[in-house]
A = this chain, B = another copy of it.
Amino acid sequence: MAHDRTSAHDKAAVRKLLDQVKAEGRTALTAPEGKLLCDAYGIAVPQEGVAGSAQEAAKLAQAMGFPVVMKIVSPDILHKTEAGGVVVGVKSAAEAEKAYDAIIANARKYKSDAKIAGIQVQQMLQGGQEVIIGAVTDQSFGKLVAFGMGGVLVEVLKDVTFRLAPTAKEDALSMLDSIKAGEILKGVRGAEPVSREALAALIQNVSELVSDFPEIAEMDLNPVFATKTGAIAADVRIVLDWNPPPQRYRPSQEEITRQMNRIMRPDAVAVIGASAEDGKIGNSVMKNLINGGYTGKIYPIHPKAEEIMGRKAFKSVKDVPGEIDVAVFAIPAKFVAQALVECGERKIPGAVLIPSGFAETGNVEGQKEIQEIGRRYNIRLMGPNIYGYYYTPNNLCATFCTPYDYKGKAALSSQSGGIGMAIIGFSRSAKMGVSAIVGLGNKSDLDEDDLLTFFEQDDNTEVIAMHCEDLKDGRSFAEVAKRVSKKKPVIVLKAGRTALGARAASSHTGALAGNDKIYDDVLRQSGVIRAPGLRDMLDYARALQKLPTPKGENVVIITGAGGSGVLLSDACVDNGLSLMKMPPDLDQAFRKFIPPFGAAGNPVDITGGEPPTTYKNTIKLGLEDKRIDALILGYWHTIITPPMVFAKLVVEVVEEMKAKGISKPIVASLAGDVQVEEAAEHLYDHGIPAYAYSTEIPVAVLGAKYKWARGAGLVR
């Protein structure tokens, strides 16, 4: 029954069957109907047939191979086992004939007038490895295909992985390696490996079936018996949903780019609810636009004022003479809809909705209303319930917080206002170079994928970091992220990861947080670096814009403190980094610079009492040797090489090498008294992420850069 996976699926057969099931008002399929769908999409199921006589049963069984299961087929007998209508483990033609007669006799005895259509003979599967293949429909990601180990493993260890459907062959194959017990499929203890091709084909077929027919809400092939030569689904369960959720509105990528460029880099901003009164949000926004140094046009909108903060005020956006790119709302929720209509009539492409009082306070209808207005007039909505946004290259601070000073290459966004404030505070404190900070709040319209599309083509942004509690359109996000992450690192802090967190998320934004495993798998497949926590996201965003992209996997630790070397090595393993196996000549070259009792290999332990030249020589060698791709430095505070002496010599060497065209990622861990903090800052200011009193953070940020670079195909 196995189809060639490249042959066209029989869509017509499936359509016909599903139409019929729909007409009958059913949401579940019978076993034969399930088999029909499987046959149409090349999903191998056990062979079967219905026999009208003992001889026919024996013949059928012989053709499909023993053992077989035999079952009564009768509309009048529902409980087949109770009726003595099932015989399992039939091993020969003779046994099949005997079983046929016995079943018929039992059935007659059970219900003498039962209409008997015959006896089903079915191939009995055994041997091979039990796995599970299935499909689900996720609110955010749509159709997903799942793969896991069968038996108790999947139940006890939750050993399962997901991919977006339809699934490319490469992605289907990657699923086999993404489960914890994946090793088993390769054959352990002398067992034969299963056919990876057959499993991948089965996964693809399922993914294509559910994608072609969105009304298939869930599908379970459990168990699937995978062997050296094939994969057969022993049982099929399909659940239909005749009311699939409507498709979300998605403009084209070109349209999004056009809209987002006007919103993020506006030539003219209207402030609806601008105010001269201290303490009002409309006043803060005006002050921040003006004091932040924004040089575009600013139009205060106010029902009565003639002028606000030296700028001519207007009663409505409709009264403004020139073009307006974005309207920042600083008025109570109840006035938003009317003002938004005016924006629409004025053809303003973007509205930044600072006001709260929508879905987050239970005003779901109010939020729907503004969404509809947005759609009607083609206005993209940021928010509501946000602090606003920054775009530092244009000195734009359209928020009620204070302007941000340190321009740089990291663009950050947050779904929550509180987290947005933490982003601003940390960035300012750590002097993180920022291109944009954006609040997305209730995400009535603009979602993370719209921001990604903008940042992708924004030359001022090199790293993107996003805090989110849900993705309104996870599928669009995944598609865009897969493309963007090839060019720029995309870091995501997905909150509501855990059952407890997800509950808090849903009480917070009304968003039903998805299954975290799905998020995890899809984000990884999209090339996204997932930050485990808030501080990690911030550390990654700060460091990744500084670190050059590594060209290969050879990491070398150079350390003055042996103890730091051990902890840095631990951190390398935790972060998926490979310590280079030292070639003998390179080992010799390093040995020339270090004391005889310094440790060989990697870490290069130069030992604690060394002068600045030892650090200098070894770091220089690490940068010059082409086989080394990245350096992790472990500094130990001594009188002989004080912290700032170390920091300055590192910067010197790095700049000397840069002049020669050599640029490799370097991170540093500084162990010492408080003076190491100043040294770490000096290093960071000069492009070397450095951390006092931590061996974990420097390696974690290097690990994040590697994760990205590997996903983008930049590491050899």
Contact = CB atoms under 8 A, between A and B. Distances in A.
Nearest to A495: B566
Contact of A418 (B414, B572, B671): B671
A589 interface: no
Contacts of A469: 563, 566
Nearest to A422: B671
A567 interface: yes
Q: Which among A152, A428, A509 has the highest number of chain B CB atoms within 10 Å?
A: A152
Interface in A241-291: 279
Interface string A419-452: 1011011101100000000000000000000000
Contacts of A639: 279
B562 A509 contact: yes
A134 to B, nearest CB: 17
A703 interface: no
Interface stretch (A57-65, A180-188, A323-331, A390-398): A180-188
Closest 3 CB pairs of A and B: A416-B563, A418-B561, A361-B597
Q: Which among A155, A279, A495 has the highest number of chain B CB atoms within 10 Å?
A: A495
A672 B535 contact: no
A659 to B, nearest CB: 31
Contacts of A362: 597
A613 to B, nearest CB: 19
A674 interface: yes
A46 B675 CA distance: 68
A579 to B, nearest CB: 5
A453 interface: no
A695 B533 contact: yes
Contacts of A597: 360-362
B562 A152 contact: no
A535 B697 contact: yes
Interface string A485-518: 0000000010111111101110111000000000
A462 interface: no
A562 B418 contact: yes
A401 interface: yes
Interface string A544-585: 000000000000010111111111111111100001000000
A634 interface: yes
Q: Which among A157, A414, A534, A565 has the highest number of chain B CB atoms within 10 Å?
A: A534
Interface string A156-194: 110000000000000000000000110110001100000
A373 B595 CA distance: 29
Interface in A205-248: none
A425 to B, nearest CB: 5
A655 interface: no
B673 A428 contact: yes
Interface of A: 152-153, 155-157, 180-181, 183-184, 188-189, 279, 356, 360-362, 401-402, 414-419, 421-422, 424-426, 428-429, 467, 469, 493, 495-501, 503-505, 507-509, 532-536, 538, 557, 559-574, 579, 595-597, 599-601, 603, 605, 608-609, 634, 636-637, 639, 670-677, 692-697
Nearest to A467: B563
Contacts of A360: 562, 597
Contact of A500 (B418, B579, B634): B579
A279 B562 CA distance: 23
A561 B416 contact: yes
Contacts of A561: 416-419, 421
A675 B571 CA distance: 32
A426 B421 CA distance: 26
Question: How many copies of this chain sit in the oligomeric assembly?
Answer: 2
Given A414-B563, A637-B421, A533 B694 contact: yes
20 contacts: A157-B157, A361-B596, A401-B673, A418-B559, A418-B562, A419-B563, A421-B671, A422-B670, A425-B677, A429-B693, A496-B569, A497-B570, A498-B572, A500-B579, A507-B600, A507-B603, A533-B567, A533-B571, A534-B695, A536-B696
A438 to B, nearest CB: 14
A564 B599 CA distance: 45
Nearest to A565: B504
Contacts of A571: 533
A574 to B, nearest CB: 7
A425 B605 contact: no
Nearest to A414: B563
A636 B156 contact: no
A468 to B, nearest CB: 10
A157 B429 CA distance: 43
A183 B501 CA distance: 25
A498 B429 contact: no
Contacts of A417: 561, 563, 608, 636
Given A188-B156, A496-B570, A429 B534 contact: no
A384 to B, nearest CB: 14
A129 to B, nearest CB: 10
Contacts of A637: 421, 425
A603 B508 CA distance: 10
Given A156-B184, A563-B417, A534 B696 contact: yes
